[in-house]
Chain A
Amino acid sequence: MTATAPVVAAAAPKMDPLHHFHVTKYLDFDYLGIDVAISNSVLWMWIAAGLVLLFFHLAFKNPRIVPGRLQSLGEAGYLFIRGIVDDIVGEKGRPFFPYIFTLFFFILFCNLAGLIPGSFTVTSQLIVTATFSLMIVGFSFVYGFYMHGTHYFKFFVPSGVPVLLMPLMIPIEIISFLARPVSLAVRLFANMTAGHTMLAVMFLYVVTLPWWGAWLPFGFTVIFTGVEIFIGFIQAYIFTILTCVYINDSIHMH
Protein backbone atom coordinates (compact mmCIF):
# COMPACT_ATOMS: atom_id res chain seq x y z
CA MET A 1 0.00 0.00 0.00
CA THR A 2 1.17 3.47 -0.77
CA ALA A 3 1.27 6.15 1.84
CA THR A 4 -1.50 8.15 0.16
CA ALA A 5 -4.17 5.47 0.64
CA PRO A 6 -4.87 6.10 4.34
CA VAL A 7 -5.03 9.83 3.63
CA VAL A 8 -7.68 9.31 0.96
CA ALA A 9 -9.60 6.93 3.21
CA ALA A 10 -9.58 9.47 6.02
CA ALA A 11 -10.75 12.23 3.71
CA ALA A 12 -13.73 10.23 2.44
CA PRO A 13 -16.79 10.06 4.70
CA LYS A 14 -16.54 7.13 7.03
CA MET A 15 -19.06 4.55 5.98
CA ASP A 16 -20.28 1.33 7.47
CA PRO A 17 -22.59 -0.88 5.36
CA LEU A 18 -23.33 -2.97 8.45
CA HIS A 19 -24.50 -0.05 10.50
CA HIS A 20 -28.20 -0.72 10.03
CA PHE A 21 -27.83 -4.11 11.68
CA HIS A 22 -26.92 -2.50 14.99
CA VAL A 23 -29.30 -3.27 17.80
CA THR A 24 -29.94 -0.18 19.88
CA LYS A 25 -31.64 -0.60 23.22
CA TYR A 26 -34.21 2.12 23.75
CA LEU A 27 -35.33 1.07 27.22
CA ASP A 28 -33.38 -1.16 29.54
CA PHE A 29 -35.50 -3.55 31.54
CA ASP A 30 -34.48 -6.37 33.80
CA TYR A 31 -36.94 -8.96 34.96
CA LEU A 32 -35.63 -11.50 37.51
CA GLY A 33 -32.17 -11.12 36.10
CA ILE A 34 -33.35 -11.65 32.53
CA ASP A 35 -32.66 -8.86 30.07
CA VAL A 36 -35.99 -7.75 28.62
CA ALA A 37 -34.87 -4.47 27.11
CA ILE A 38 -36.89 -2.84 24.34
CA SER A 39 -34.64 -2.31 21.34
CA ASN A 40 -35.19 -1.43 17.71
CA SER A 41 -35.16 -5.17 16.96
CA VAL A 42 -37.97 -5.81 19.43
CA LEU A 43 -39.88 -2.80 18.19
CA TRP A 44 -39.80 -4.05 14.60
CA MET A 45 -40.80 -7.52 15.72
CA TRP A 46 -43.92 -5.93 17.16
CA ILE A 47 -44.47 -3.82 14.08
CA ALA A 48 -44.22 -6.92 11.88
CA ALA A 49 -46.61 -8.83 14.14
CA GLY A 50 -48.95 -5.83 14.14
CA LEU A 51 -48.82 -5.69 10.34
CA VAL A 52 -49.75 -9.37 10.16
CA LEU A 53 -52.73 -8.75 12.41
CA LEU A 54 -53.68 -5.57 10.54
CA PHE A 55 -53.50 -7.34 7.20
CA PHE A 56 -55.76 -10.17 8.31
CA HIS A 57 -58.05 -7.78 10.14
CA LEU A 58 -58.55 -5.70 7.00
CA ALA A 59 -58.85 -8.79 4.82
CA PHE A 60 -61.51 -10.43 6.97
CA LYS A 61 -63.24 -7.39 8.44
CA ASN A 62 -66.51 -8.38 6.80
CA PRO A 63 -65.85 -11.70 5.12
CA ARG A 64 -67.98 -12.52 2.12
CA ILE A 65 -68.68 -15.68 0.18
CA VAL A 66 -67.44 -13.99 -2.98
CA PRO A 67 -64.17 -12.45 -1.75
CA GLY A 68 -62.84 -8.99 -2.53
CA ARG A 69 -59.23 -8.36 -3.45
CA LEU A 70 -57.73 -8.21 0.02
CA GLN A 71 -59.82 -11.14 1.21
CA SER A 72 -58.67 -13.18 -1.78
CA LEU A 73 -55.09 -12.39 -0.86
CA GLY A 74 -55.64 -13.40 2.75
CA GLU A 75 -57.36 -16.59 1.70
CA ALA A 76 -54.56 -17.32 -0.77
CA GLY A 77 -52.06 -16.97 2.07
CA TYR A 78 -54.10 -19.25 4.30
CA LEU A 79 -54.56 -21.88 1.58
CA PHE A 80 -50.88 -21.63 0.63
CA ILE A 81 -49.76 -22.61 4.13
CA ARG A 82 -52.53 -25.19 4.41
CA GLY A 83 -51.33 -26.69 1.12
CA ILE A 84 -47.73 -26.88 2.36
CA VAL A 85 -48.78 -28.53 5.64
CA ASP A 86 -51.11 -30.98 3.92
CA ASP A 87 -48.59 -31.84 1.21
CA ILE A 88 -45.63 -32.43 3.46
CA VAL A 89 -47.04 -33.57 6.80
CA GLY A 90 -50.51 -34.74 5.87
CA GLU A 91 -53.48 -35.32 8.10
CA LYS A 92 -51.42 -35.52 11.30
CA GLY A 93 -50.02 -32.06 10.68
CA ARG A 94 -53.36 -30.33 11.26
CA PRO A 95 -52.68 -29.54 14.96
CA PHE A 96 -49.46 -27.74 13.96
CA PHE A 97 -51.10 -25.62 11.31
CA PRO A 98 -51.56 -22.48 13.47
CA TYR A 99 -47.90 -22.60 14.50
CA ILE A 100 -46.67 -22.92 10.95
CA PHE A 101 -49.11 -20.26 9.78
CA THR A 102 -47.86 -17.85 12.44
CA LEU A 103 -44.23 -18.71 11.73
CA PHE A 104 -44.59 -18.07 8.00
CA PHE A 105 -46.38 -14.78 8.30
CA PHE A 106 -44.18 -13.53 11.12
CA ILE A 107 -41.00 -14.23 9.17
CA LEU A 108 -42.48 -12.94 5.91
CA PHE A 109 -43.58 -9.65 7.44
CA CYS A 110 -40.25 -9.28 9.27
CA ASN A 111 -38.47 -9.77 5.94
CA LEU A 112 -40.71 -7.32 4.13
CA ALA A 113 -40.83 -4.73 6.90
CA GLY A 114 -37.03 -4.73 6.83
CA LEU A 115 -37.18 -3.29 3.32
CA ILE A 116 -38.89 -0.11 4.51
CA PRO A 117 -36.23 2.61 4.51
CA GLY A 118 -35.06 3.37 8.02
CA SER A 119 -36.51 0.18 9.41
CA PHE A 120 -34.78 -2.70 11.11
CA THR A 121 -34.67 -6.22 9.68
CA VAL A 122 -35.43 -8.54 12.55
CA THR A 123 -34.60 -11.67 10.56
CA SER A 124 -31.12 -10.37 9.85
CA GLN A 125 -30.35 -11.01 13.51
CA LEU A 126 -28.72 -14.43 13.79
CA ILE A 127 -29.96 -14.79 17.33
CA VAL A 128 -33.59 -14.36 16.28
CA THR A 129 -33.43 -16.90 13.46
CA ALA A 130 -31.43 -19.23 15.72
CA THR A 131 -34.13 -18.95 18.38
CA PHE A 132 -36.81 -19.95 15.88
CA SER A 133 -34.80 -22.76 14.33
CA LEU A 134 -33.80 -24.18 17.73
CA MET A 135 -37.42 -23.99 18.82
CA ILE A 136 -38.52 -25.90 15.74
CA VAL A 137 -35.81 -28.56 15.78
CA GLY A 138 -36.01 -28.94 19.56
CA PHE A 139 -39.77 -29.29 19.31
CA SER A 140 -39.51 -31.86 16.51
CA PHE A 141 -37.00 -33.84 18.62
CA VAL A 142 -39.17 -33.79 21.73
CA TYR A 143 -42.30 -34.55 19.74
CA GLY A 144 -40.53 -37.47 18.06
CA PHE A 145 -39.80 -38.92 21.50
CA TYR A 146 -43.34 -38.24 22.62
CA MET A 147 -44.70 -40.06 19.56
CA HIS A 148 -42.29 -42.99 19.29
CA GLY A 149 -40.54 -43.28 22.66
CA THR A 150 -37.05 -44.75 22.55
CA HIS A 151 -37.99 -46.11 19.14
CA TYR A 152 -37.18 -42.62 17.92
CA PHE A 153 -33.45 -43.40 18.16
CA LYS A 154 -33.93 -45.50 15.03
CA PHE A 155 -34.21 -42.15 13.30
CA PHE A 156 -30.42 -41.96 13.42
CA VAL A 157 -29.96 -45.46 11.99
CA PRO A 158 -30.28 -45.33 8.23
CA SER A 159 -32.14 -48.31 6.82
CA GLY A 160 -30.67 -50.55 4.15
CA VAL A 161 -27.06 -49.89 5.16
CA PRO A 162 -24.73 -52.80 5.98
CA VAL A 163 -24.01 -53.20 9.70
CA LEU A 164 -20.31 -52.76 9.00
CA LEU A 165 -20.92 -49.17 7.91
CA MET A 166 -23.03 -48.29 10.94
CA PRO A 167 -20.20 -46.77 13.01
CA LEU A 168 -19.68 -44.40 10.09
CA MET A 169 -23.30 -43.73 9.21
CA ILE A 170 -24.75 -43.09 12.65
CA PRO A 171 -22.40 -40.18 13.47
CA ILE A 172 -23.12 -38.74 10.03
CA GLU A 173 -26.84 -38.92 10.69
CA ILE A 174 -26.41 -37.32 14.11
CA ILE A 175 -24.25 -34.54 12.69
CA SER A 176 -26.75 -33.91 9.90
CA PHE A 177 -29.49 -33.71 12.51
CA LEU A 178 -27.47 -31.25 14.58
CA ALA A 179 -26.73 -29.24 11.45
CA ARG A 180 -30.44 -28.69 10.88
CA PRO A 181 -30.96 -25.76 13.25
CA VAL A 182 -27.65 -24.22 12.19
CA SER A 183 -28.39 -24.32 8.48
CA LEU A 184 -31.98 -23.23 9.03
CA ALA A 185 -30.91 -20.21 11.09
CA VAL A 186 -27.90 -19.24 9.02
CA ARG A 187 -29.77 -19.50 5.72
CA LEU A 188 -32.36 -16.94 6.67
CA PHE A 189 -29.96 -14.68 8.55
CA ALA A 190 -27.33 -14.75 5.80
CA ASN A 191 -29.86 -14.08 3.04
CA MET A 192 -31.27 -11.08 4.82
CA THR A 193 -27.89 -9.75 5.89
CA ALA A 194 -26.31 -10.20 2.50
CA GLY A 195 -29.18 -8.55 0.66
CA HIS A 196 -29.28 -5.56 2.93
CA THR A 197 -25.50 -5.23 2.97
CA MET A 198 -25.51 -5.27 -0.80
CA LEU A 199 -28.16 -2.55 -0.85
CA ALA A 200 -26.16 -0.50 1.68
CA VAL A 201 -22.97 -0.81 -0.37
CA MET A 202 -24.83 0.28 -3.50
CA PHE A 203 -26.30 3.27 -1.69
CA LEU A 204 -22.80 4.22 -0.59
CA TYR A 205 -21.79 4.26 -4.24
CA VAL A 206 -24.82 6.39 -5.02
CA VAL A 207 -23.77 9.06 -2.54
CA THR A 208 -20.04 8.93 -3.24
CA LEU A 209 -20.16 8.93 -7.04
CA PRO A 210 -20.77 12.18 -8.94
CA TRP A 211 -24.26 12.60 -10.42
CA TRP A 212 -23.34 11.23 -13.85
CA GLY A 213 -22.18 7.97 -12.33
CA ALA A 214 -24.63 7.63 -9.50
CA TRP A 215 -27.60 6.52 -11.58
CA LEU A 216 -26.01 3.13 -12.27
CA PRO A 217 -25.80 1.90 -8.65
CA PHE A 218 -29.07 3.68 -7.93
CA GLY A 219 -30.84 1.77 -10.69
CA PHE A 220 -29.29 -1.37 -9.35
CA THR A 221 -30.67 -0.72 -5.87
CA VAL A 222 -34.13 -0.22 -7.35
CA ILE A 223 -33.99 -3.56 -9.13
CA PHE A 224 -32.35 -5.25 -6.20
CA THR A 225 -35.07 -4.08 -3.83
CA GLY A 226 -37.52 -6.00 -5.99
CA VAL A 227 -35.24 -9.02 -5.81
CA GLU A 228 -35.13 -8.59 -2.04
CA ILE A 229 -38.93 -8.69 -1.82
CA PHE A 230 -38.83 -11.92 -3.79
CA ILE A 231 -36.08 -13.32 -1.57
CA GLY A 232 -38.10 -12.35 1.49
CA PHE A 233 -40.95 -14.49 0.19
CA ILE A 234 -38.72 -17.38 -0.85
CA GLN A 235 -36.85 -17.49 2.44
CA ALA A 236 -40.03 -17.44 4.50
CA TYR A 237 -41.34 -20.22 2.24
CA ILE A 238 -38.15 -22.29 2.65
CA PHE A 239 -38.18 -21.80 6.39
CA THR A 240 -41.79 -22.98 6.52
CA ILE A 241 -41.19 -25.95 4.23
CA LEU A 242 -38.20 -27.13 6.25
CA THR A 243 -40.20 -26.73 9.43
CA CYS A 244 -42.87 -28.96 7.93
CA VAL A 245 -40.25 -31.46 6.81
CA TYR A 246 -38.75 -31.66 10.31
CA ILE A 247 -42.15 -32.05 11.93
CA ASN A 248 -43.03 -34.70 9.37
CA ASP A 249 -39.79 -36.53 10.20
CA SER A 250 -40.69 -36.59 13.86
CA ILE A 251 -44.21 -37.87 13.13
CA HIS A 252 -43.52 -40.42 10.43
CA MET A 253 -39.78 -41.10 10.97
CA HIS A 254 -38.29 -42.00 7.58
Chain B
Amino acid sequence: MDATAAALIGMGLAALGFAGSGVGLGVLFGKAIEAIARQPAAEAQLAKYIWIGMAFVEAVALYGLVVAFIIMGKA
Protein backbone atom coordinates (compact mmCIF):
# COMPACT_ATOMS: atom_id res chain seq x y z
CA MET B 1 0.00 0.00 0.00
CA ASP B 2 1.09 3.50 -0.76
CA ALA B 3 2.44 5.27 2.35
CA THR B 4 0.32 8.34 1.69
CA ALA B 5 -2.81 6.26 1.37
CA ALA B 6 -1.97 4.46 4.61
CA ALA B 7 -1.50 7.82 6.33
CA LEU B 8 -4.88 9.01 5.08
CA ILE B 9 -6.50 5.83 6.37
CA GLY B 10 -4.74 6.33 9.69
CA MET B 11 -6.04 9.88 9.95
CA GLY B 12 -9.54 8.64 9.33
CA LEU B 13 -9.13 5.97 11.97
CA ALA B 14 -7.91 8.58 14.45
CA ALA B 15 -11.27 10.26 14.03
CA LEU B 16 -12.82 7.08 15.49
CA GLY B 17 -11.71 8.36 18.86
CA PHE B 18 -14.53 10.85 18.60
CA ALA B 19 -16.96 7.99 19.24
CA GLY B 20 -15.66 7.65 22.76
CA SER B 21 -16.12 11.33 23.33
CA GLY B 22 -19.64 11.05 21.98
CA VAL B 23 -20.44 8.27 24.43
CA GLY B 24 -18.91 10.35 27.18
CA LEU B 25 -20.97 13.41 26.34
CA GLY B 26 -24.12 11.30 26.17
CA VAL B 27 -23.47 9.78 29.57
CA LEU B 28 -22.46 13.13 31.02
CA PHE B 29 -25.50 15.08 29.91
CA GLY B 30 -27.89 12.18 30.43
CA LYS B 31 -26.79 11.79 34.01
CA ALA B 32 -26.77 15.53 34.48
CA ILE B 33 -30.36 15.86 33.30
CA GLU B 34 -31.34 12.93 35.50
CA ALA B 35 -29.68 14.56 38.47
CA ILE B 36 -31.33 17.91 37.81
CA ALA B 37 -34.71 16.24 37.38
CA ARG B 38 -34.27 14.62 40.76
CA GLN B 39 -32.93 17.70 42.47
CA PRO B 40 -33.82 20.87 40.54
CA ALA B 41 -32.46 23.03 43.34
CA ALA B 42 -28.94 21.76 42.70
CA GLU B 43 -28.91 22.85 39.06
CA ALA B 44 -26.58 25.81 39.49
CA GLN B 45 -24.08 23.72 41.39
CA LEU B 46 -24.31 20.85 38.92
CA ALA B 47 -23.90 23.16 35.92
CA LYS B 48 -20.37 23.96 37.05
CA TYR B 49 -19.39 20.29 37.06
CA ILE B 50 -21.23 19.65 33.80
CA TRP B 51 -19.18 22.25 31.95
CA ILE B 52 -15.93 21.09 33.50
CA GLY B 53 -16.81 17.52 32.64
CA MET B 54 -17.75 18.53 29.13
CA ALA B 55 -14.37 20.17 28.64
CA PHE B 56 -12.61 17.02 29.83
CA VAL B 57 -14.67 14.73 27.61
CA GLU B 58 -14.25 16.99 24.63
CA ALA B 59 -10.51 17.04 25.15
CA VAL B 60 -10.42 13.26 24.64
CA ALA B 61 -11.85 13.68 21.16
CA LEU B 62 -9.36 16.42 20.42
CA TYR B 63 -6.45 14.16 21.37
CA GLY B 64 -7.61 12.00 18.48
CA LEU B 65 -7.64 15.07 16.26
CA VAL B 66 -4.09 15.87 17.30
CA VAL B 67 -3.05 12.32 16.42
CA ALA B 68 -4.62 12.80 13.00
CA PHE B 69 -2.70 16.02 12.51
CA ILE B 70 0.54 14.37 13.59
CA ILE B 71 -0.03 11.63 11.02
CA MET B 72 -0.72 14.32 8.44
CA GLY B 73 2.72 15.78 9.19
CA LYS B 74 4.40 12.40 8.69
CA ALA B 75 2.72 11.68 5.38
Q: Is there any pair of Cβ atoms, one from A and one from B, under 8 angstroms apart in the complex?
A: yes
A176 CB, nearest partner CB in chain B, Å: 14
B59 with A187: CB separation less than 8 A: yes
B14 CB, nearest partner CB in chain A, Å: 12
What are 5 A-B contacts defined by CB distance under 8 Å?
Answer: A183-B59, A190-B62, A190-B66, A191-B62, A193-B66
Query: Chain B: interface secondary structure?
Result: helix
Instruction: Tell me the nearest residue of chain B to A239, going by C-beta.
Output: B55
B62 with A194: CB separation less than 8 A: yes
Range class of the B interface residue count: 10 to 19
**Cβ-defined partner of B66 (8 Å) among A186, A234, A237:** A186
A187 with B55: CB separation less than 8 A: yes
B66 with A238: CB separation less than 8 A: no
Chain B residues, CB < 8 A from A235:
55
Bound Cα distance from A183 to B69, whole angstroms: 17
Chain B residues, CB < 8 A from A231:
55
B56 with A190: CB separation less than 8 A: no
Within 209-254 of A, Cβ neighbours of B (below 8 Å) are at 231, 234-235, 237-238, 241
Enumerate chain A interface residues (CB-CB to B < 8 A).
Answer: 18, 183, 186-187, 189-191, 193-194, 197, 231, 234-235, 237-238, 241
B65 with A194: CB separation less than 8 A: yes
B59 with A190: CB separation less than 8 A: yes
Bound Cα distance from A165 to B59, whole angstroms: 31
A238 with B62: CB separation less than 8 A: no
> What would 12 more interface pairs be, CB under 8 Å, given A186-B62, A234-B55?
A183-B59, A186-B59, A186-B63, A187-B62, A190-B63, A191-B55, A191-B58, A191-B62, A193-B65, A194-B65, A231-B55, A234-B54
Chain A residues, CB < 8 A from B51:
234, 237
Bound Cα distance from A241 to B53, whole angstroms: 12
